[in-house]
């Protein structure tokens, strides 16, 4: 009688960790909906049980044949992805390879369709993917995949470490006299949104800074403008941290249109540190993500089959860049 090896599933991890299966699922796919302590407990339990712990190796792995890779981004109109694309192209040129770009326009359907019939590429970089873990893992059994701004168990990934940037930003706001911050959220399906919210929540709790969450589903300039109207219905925070720079810029534009001074009325900080931050008035403070380091590490992981680091996750530290959009509350800046 043959014996088949059984692998632990979500239910097994949930039972061992003392949480519900839905909490386990959220810990991996929607980190902002689970506290850091609970998530760590789930990850430790998953590692102990061997849940999705093995590295996913494509059926055919070898030396690059086509000298061509695909980079899929969620929104090519976002300057943060323009930075990533340019830096990835430079790294591909160093590897004597070409680069294909797929703009998934923030939709799972477009992203899924862009991954069909990829027999002419040596590998795929998925940046801020909106696909489910299961779908990505299935795809990775046939193509070499490296994740950027997203973690999927069993796959190499390059992700920002948001804690250093948030710690510096919140500490600076407190030093200026701010006692509360409102966070403008990003897309619900974004793994990065979950990590940003969870990390900011933990940092604010540690520093006794009050924190509010203002739904702002799209990472766009227009969404930031709309968020300003919502915020002004109950403007009880003197500082704002936006999901990205575009939202922050839209928020400032709407405030200025209403003759409200920034940063005298409230300070605002974005995330990404795109080039346009220095063109705005006031210049926008932001949490910088090193896109060059992200690109360099991701491309190296994609091409280096023999290096053990090619099968792990790398965290890229973030940095708070202070400019004129933050000040003492109520100051005549």
Domain residues of the chain, as ranges? 10-49, 68-158+291-315, 161-290
| Least confident segment among 42-46, 88-92, 255-259 | 42-46
Q: Is the pLDDT of residue 47 over 90?
A: no
Given this model, what pLDDT does residue 150 score?
92
φ, ψ of residue 88 to 5 degrees: the values are -65, -40
Question: Would you say the CATH fold of 161-290 matches that of 68-158+291-315?
Answer: yes
pLDDT band at 57 (very low <50, low <70, confident <90, very high): low
Q: Which of 4-8, 95-99, 246-250 has the highest mean pLDDT?
A: 246-250
Residue 27 · residue 39 · CB < 8 Å: yes
Q: Is the pLDDT of residue 60 over 60?
A: no
Q: Is the pLDDT of residue 301 over 60?
A: yes
Q: Distance between CA atoms of 43 and 293, rounded to whole angstroms?
A: 26
Of all residues in the chain, the percent with pLDDT exceeding 70 is 82
Given this model, what pLDDT does residue 2 score?
44
Average pLDDT, the chain: 86
Of all residues in the chain, the percent with pLDDT exceeding 90 is 61
Question: If phi over 0 gives left and psi between -120 and 50 gives alpha, with beta otherwise, what is residue 27?
Answer: alpha
Given this model, what pLDDT does residue 40 score?
63
Q: Distance between CA atoms of 40 and 58, rounded to whole angstroms?
A: 28
* Residue 62: count of CB within 10 angstroms of its CB: 9
Task: Report whether CATH 3.40.50.2300 matches the domain 68-158+291-315.
Answer: yes
Q: Distance between CA atoms of 194 and 122, rounded to whole angstroms?
A: 31
Task: Report whether CATH 3.30.460.30 matches the domain 161-290.
Answer: no
Given this model, what pLDDT does residue 51 score?
65
pLDDT band at 184 (very low <50, low <70, confident <90, very high): very high
Given this model, what pLDDT does residue 56 score?
56
φ, ψ of residue 170 to 5 degrees: the values are -65, -40
Q: Is the pLDDT of residue 80 over 60?
A: yes
- What is the average per-residue pLDDT within 158-173? 97
Please choose, from the candidates 237, 234, 240, the residue with its C-alpha nearest in 3D space to the C-alpha of residue 252: 240
- What is the average per-residue pLDDT within 189-196? 91
pTM of the predicted model as reported, rounded to 2 decimal places: 0.82
Given this model, what pLDDT does residue 94 score?
92
Given this model, what pLDDT does residue 37 score?
72
Q: Distance between CA atoms of 245 and 265, rounded to whole angstroms?
A: 19
Given this model, what pLDDT does residue 308 score?
43
Given this model, what pLDDT does residue 118 score?
74
């Amino acid at each position: 009688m043959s014996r088949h090896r059984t692998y632990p599933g979500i239910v097994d991890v949930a039972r061992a960790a003392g949480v519900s299966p839905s909490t386990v699922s959220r810990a991996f796919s929607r980190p902002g909906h689970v506290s850091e302590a609970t998530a760590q407990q789930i990850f430790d339990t998953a590692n102990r049980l061997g849940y999705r712990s093995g590295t996913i190796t494509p059926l055919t792995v070898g030396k690059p044949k086509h000298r061509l890779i695909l980079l899929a981004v969620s929104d090519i109109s976002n300057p943060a992805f323009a930075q990533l694309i340019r830096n990835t192209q430079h790294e591909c040129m160093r590897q004597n390879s070409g680069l294909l770009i797929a703009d998934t326009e923030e939709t799972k359907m477009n992203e899924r369709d862009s991954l069909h019939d990829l027999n002419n590429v040596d590998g795929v970089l998925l940046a801020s993917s909106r696909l489910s873990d299961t779908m990505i893992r299935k795809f990775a059994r046939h193509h070499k995949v490296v994740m950027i701004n997203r973690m999927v168990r069993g796959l190499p990934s390059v992700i920002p470490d948001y804690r250093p940037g948030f710690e510096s930003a919140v500490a600076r706001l407190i030093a200026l006299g701010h006692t509360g911050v409102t966070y403008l959220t990003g897309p619900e399906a974004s793994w990065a949104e979950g990590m940003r919210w969870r990390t900011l929540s933990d940092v604010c709790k540690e520093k006794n800074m009050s924190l509010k969450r203002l739904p702002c589903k799209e990472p766009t300039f227009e969404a930031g403008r709309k968020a300003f109207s919502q915020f002004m219905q109950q403007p009880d925070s003197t500082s704002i941290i936006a999901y990205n720079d575009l939202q922050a810029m839209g928020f400032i534009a709407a405030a200025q249109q209403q003759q409200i001074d920034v940063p005298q009325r409230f300070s605002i900080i974005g995330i990404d540190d795109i080039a346009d931050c220095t063109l705005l008035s006031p210049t926008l403070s932001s949490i910088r993500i090193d896109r060059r380091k992200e690109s360099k590490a991701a491309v190296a992981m994609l091409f280096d089959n023999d290096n053990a680091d090619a099968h792990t996750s790398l965290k890229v530290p973030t940095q708070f860049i202070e400019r004129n959009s933050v000040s003492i509350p109520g100051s005549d800046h």
